């Protein structure tokens, strides 16, 4: 909806029912529907106004994950919406195109609300014409979001409570993609871009194709990488996003699965889902060209050329300009020790602000996972860069803009972050583990930008 130059959206958080198992319905929550919510198309530089109405029986909030914006519009725990009330957020995104998402963030109750289905996509575009550069960009046609979640269903098909879990929270064996169980995507083109969103509470995925095929990763949380790179797996912890480009030839069927997620040396791999192998999505190749009647025989024994360079997928060698932050330029260093549902031995308190970060100042944040279990680290109002992981240069999937990063047990990840433009001495932003059970248990802190 356009209202002058302002993009306006209305979201209603509401209750409903979904059918994850044919023939059985279960209570779910969604925005403007029973499960998940609409994709909000945002344009860089265009003001946005989102009105959120809460028709749930409990307090909620809506947070815009990945967007740099004023603290009062962030939708964190300090912007509660009581049942029956409305709240409106106004902000103007000014950052590169990316796949963001929105979800509730009420203090102590985020896990359950997201698990029931409250989440949606933020599709941020900017002027760069990706299509012209050869990057698939037609929404739903060759540019397809995949919001991946795992659900734990009782025998009768009912969604179980998010608190039924191990020390990382709830893990389920039923995969739901964009709200669908056993999803199928029929590609229309030979080259398709998938935007993978880990919208799960707890699970870390190792996305790959069952046949081990090579594809390109082109973007991380905060948008396009400087250059595409070829890989056969993408690892995402809760809250993280990645965009991949894959080739599918006419007549073929491929399976996107999750196996061998990169989780580091966790104490009990079974307890945290590290050994699970899960079917994510069935994909079929595009229809054979219409004029290809006699060509069909030829197609049958056509050997599929291997993807050996991003150019084989039509991708440009350079995707975006990603200026590197330099650790030498950091004027402040901060430590974050993740341990026992706390950060730096303190649990989240709504009334404690841990520090004030001066605006436009480059900072080095050292995040240490002291535990033998998985954690990750998310910062509001920021896209940061990974400087190193235990002293080693980040792998290519961590070389671009990030807002959430997995932190392996007993390892230190150092981030370079700068908070731009928005200041507010009163209203804090959050940093936290995005395993939602941990966040709710107190593995979160608050900072202001001044």
Minimum Å gap between C-beta 318 and ligand C2O is 30
Read off the DSSP letter of residue 182. S
Compare residues 192 and 404 and give the one whose CB is closer to Cu ion: 404
58-94 exposure pattern, b = at least 16 Cβ within 10 A, e = fewer: ebbbbbbbbbbbbbbbbbbbbbbbeeeeebebebbbe
Compare residues 106 and 239 and give the one whose CB is closer to ligand C2O: 239
Structure tokens at 397: 């999937």
Q: Which whole-number Å values give the CA distances from 379 to 70, 295, 316, 403, 444, in the listed order? A: 14, 53, 31, 6, 10
Compare residues 153 and 435 and give the one whose CB is closer to Cu ion: 435
For 28, residues 6+ apart whose C-beta sits below 8 A from its C-beta are 15, 16, 17, 18, 34, 35, 116, 117, 159
Minimum Å gap between C-beta 63 and Cu ion is 5
Minimum Å gap between C-beta 101 and ligand C2O is 7
435 binds, among ligand C2O, Cu ion, none (CB under 5 to 8 A by kind): Cu ion
Minimum Å gap between C-beta 434 and ligand C2O is 6
375 binds, among Cu ion, ligand C2O, none (CB under 5 to 8 A by kind): Cu ion
The residue ranges that bind ligand C2O (CB under 6 A) are: 63, 65, 103, 105, 239, 378, 380, 430, 432, 434
C-beta separation of 47 from 37 below 8 A = no
Specify the 3-state DSSP secondary structure of 296: helix
Compare residues 65 and 208 and give the one whose CB is closer to Cu ion: 65
120 binds, among Cu ion, ligand C2O, none (CB under 5 to 8 A by kind): none
433 binds, among ligand C2O, Cu ion, none (CB under 5 to 8 A by kind): Cu ion
Closest residue to ligand C2O, based on beta-carbon distance: 65
Compare residues 11 and 435 and give the one whose CB is closer to Cu ion: 435
Minimum Å gap between C-beta 82 and ligand C2O is 20
Structure tokens at 206: 């190792």
Sheet (strand 375-379) strand order: 355-357, 444-449, 424-432, 375-379, 404-407
Minimum Å gap between C-beta 57 and ligand C2O is 23
Minimum Å gap between C-beta 103 and Cu ion is 8
438 binds, among Cu ion, ligand C2O, none (CB under 5 to 8 A by kind): Cu ion
The residue ranges that bind Cu ion (CB under 5 A) are: 65, 375, 380, 433, 435, 438
C-beta separation of 213 from 307 below 8 A = yes
Specify the 3-state DSSP secondary structure of 369: strand
105 binds, among Cu ion, ligand C2O, none (CB under 5 to 8 A by kind): ligand C2O
Compare residues 111 and 319 and give the one whose CB is closer to ligand C2O: 111
Compare residues 76 and 136 and give the one whose CB is closer to Cu ion: 76
C-beta separation of 56 from 14 below 8 A = yes
Q: Where are the beta strands (DSSP E) in 4-142?
A: 6-21, 24-31, 40-43, 48-54, 63-65, 86-91, 98-103, 120-125
């Amino acid at each position: 909806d356009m209202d002058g130059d302002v993009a306006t959206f209305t979201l209603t958080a509401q209750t409903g029912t979904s059918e994850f198992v044919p023939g059985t319905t279960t209570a779910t929550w969604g925005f403007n529907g029973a499960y998940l919510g609409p994709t909000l198309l945002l344009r860089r530089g265009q003001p946005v106004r989102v009105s959120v109405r809460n028709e749930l029986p409990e307090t909620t909030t809506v947070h815009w994950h990945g967007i740099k914006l004023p603290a009062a519009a962030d939708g964190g725990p300090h912007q509660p919406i009581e049942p029956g009330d409305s709240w409106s957020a106004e902000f103007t995104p000014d950052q590169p195109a990316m796949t963001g998402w929105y979800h509730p963030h009420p203090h102590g109750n985020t896990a359950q609300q997201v698990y029931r289905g409250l989440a949606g996509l933020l599709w941020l575009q900017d002027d760069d014409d990706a299509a012209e550069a050869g990057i698939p960009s037609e929404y739903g046609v060759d540019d397809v979001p995949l919001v991946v979640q795992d659900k734990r269903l009782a025998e009768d098909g009912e969604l179980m409570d998010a608190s039924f879990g191990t020390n990382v929270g709830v893990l389920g064996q039923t995969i739901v993609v964009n709200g669908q169980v056993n999803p199928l995507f029929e590609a229309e083109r030979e080259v398709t871009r998938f935007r993978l969103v880990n919208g799960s509470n707890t699970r870390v995925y190792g996305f790959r194709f069952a046949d081990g095929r090579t594809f390109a990763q082109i973007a991380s949380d905060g948008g396009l990488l400087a250059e595409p790179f070829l890989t056969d797996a993408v690892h995402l912890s809760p809250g993280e996003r990645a965009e991949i480009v894959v080739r599918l030839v006419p007549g073929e069927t491929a399976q996107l699965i999750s196996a061998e997620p990169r989780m580091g040396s966790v104490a009990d791999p079974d307890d945290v889902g590290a050994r699970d192998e899960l079917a994510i999505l069935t994909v079929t190749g595009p229809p054979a060209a219409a004029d290809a009647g006699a060509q069909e025989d030829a197609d049958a024994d056509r050997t599929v050329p291997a993807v050996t360079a991003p150019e084989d997928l039509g991708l440009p060698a350079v995707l975006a300009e990603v200026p590197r932050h330099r650790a030498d330029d950091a004027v402040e260093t901060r430590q974050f020790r993740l341990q026992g549902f706390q950060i730096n031995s303190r649990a989240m308190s709504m009334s404690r602000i841990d520090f004030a970060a001066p605006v436009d100042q480059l900072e080095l944040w050292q995040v240490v996972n002291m535990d033998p279990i998985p954690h990750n680290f998310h910062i509001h109002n920021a896209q940061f860069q990974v400087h190193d992981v235990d002293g080693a240069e980040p792998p290519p999937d961590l070389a671009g803009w990030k807002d959430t990063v997995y932190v392996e047990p007993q390892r230190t990840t150092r981030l370079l972050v700068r908070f731009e433009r928005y200041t507010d001495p009163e209203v804090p932003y959050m940093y936290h583990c995005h395993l939602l059970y941990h966040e709710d248990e107190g593995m979160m802190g608050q900072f202001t930008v001044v």
